Homo-oligomer: A and B are copies of this chain.
Amino acid sequence: MTDLAALEARLQRLEDEAAIARLIASYGPLVDAGSAEAVAALWEPDGVYDVDELVMHGRDEIVAMVQSPNHRGWIADGCAHFVGPPVVTVTGDEALAVCHSLMIVNQDGQFVVRRATANHWQLRRTGDSWQVTVRTNRVLDGRAESPGLLASGFHTS
């Protein structure tokens, strides 16, 4: 007979995975809405967002990216940060996730794929929620580190 504690542990694992998938799915709509504070709040206060051209340390630098003239320009022209469904692996209070993202932009009245990117997420449980500690993005343009980053999203031990 399965006991209540065992059931709760299984339920908790699903809740953790769902919370992390929800966090990751929130990034695109929030960043395309220009909701700078809400984007930054997905990270721990001193979390890191490491993209090819830029490494942001802490929420203030993430807020600054979303509020930058560059990012505002994407929104003003039309853009979609389309983040795919992640593979989430929870280990206690830490988690790892991996997925693709596309940046679609409106240029001269046409939508084009500006970037296809490998996304590697490290997360940590904080109270009863989850936050990003380090998100690493590398564009899938043939550079060798991008396939390697995807592969590393499945290593957990």
Which A residues lie at the B interface, using CB under 8 A?
A: 1-5, 7-8, 10-11, 14-15, 17-18, 21-22, 24-26, 28-30, 32-35, 38, 75-88, 98-100, 102, 104, 106, 109-118, 139-143, 146-148, 150-151, 153-154
**A147 lies within 8 A of B75 (CB):** yes
Contact indicator A82/B111 (Cβ below 8 Å): no
Bound complex: CA A80 to CA B146 (Å): 10
Partner of A87, one of B29, B114, B118: B29
Verify A82–B102 contact, CB threshold 8 A: yes
- Measured CB to CB, the closest approach of chain B to A38, in angstroms, equals 7
Q: Is the interface of A mostly helix, strand, loop or mixed?
A: mixed
CA distance A7 to B8 in the complex (A): 7
**A98 (CB) vs chain B CBs: closest residue:** B29
Q: A141–B106 contact, CB under 8 A?
A: yes
A33 and B148 contacting across the interface, CB-CB below 8 Å: yes
Closest 9 CB pairs of A and B: A80-B116, A33-B151, A111-B113, A78-B141, A33-B150, A78-B142, A29-B150, A104-B116, A25-B85
